[in-house]
Amino acid sequence: MLENTNRIYPTGSLSESGEDYLEAILILGKNQPLVRVKDIARFLGVSRPSVVVALGGLAAKGLVRHEHYGGVELTAKGRQAADAVYQRHLLLEYFLNSILGVSRRTARQDACRLEHTLSPESVRRLMNFVARTKNYEKVK
C-alpha cells in the first residue's frame, strides 16, 4: 500500500508558496550538493529578493537554514514537509499521466496546482485507487 496520509499531510499548515519553496529545495538538493538562492529563483521563476523573503519566513518556522550569501538546506521538519508535498505531486502526476493518459507536460503542470488543494481524504482515496489499479511504487 502507498504511504499513509500522515506522511502526505504532516501536521501544520503552509501556504501554497511555502510548499513550493520547500519542494524546490528538495528537488534541487537531489541534483546538486549546494542549493543557492539563485537556483531556487531560477527553478520557480521568481526574483532572488522574493526567495530571500520566503526563506526568512520558512527559517522562522524552523523549516530551512539559510546563511546570508550561503547555501539553503532543509531542517528535519522542513524535509518532512517537503517530502509530503513532493509525494502528493508524484502521486498526482502519475495518476494524470499513466492512468488518465494526460500528456507528461500537462500532468506535471496540473499536479503542481492540485498538490496544494486536494483534501487528505481525496489523496488517501486516490492513493488507494492507484494502488489497486496499477503497480504504483513510491518514488523516492
* Statement: the pTM of the whole predicted model exceeds 0.85: no
What pLDDT, in 10s, does the model give residues 41-58? 999 999 999 999 999 999
Q: Phi/psi class of residue 101: alpha, beta or left (left: φ > 0; alpha: ψ in -120 to 50)?
A: left
Q: Measured between alpha carbons, how far is 120 from 134 in angstroms, rounded to an integer? A: 21
Residue 25 is predicted with a pLDDT of 97
What are the chain's domains?
14-79 (1.10.10.10)
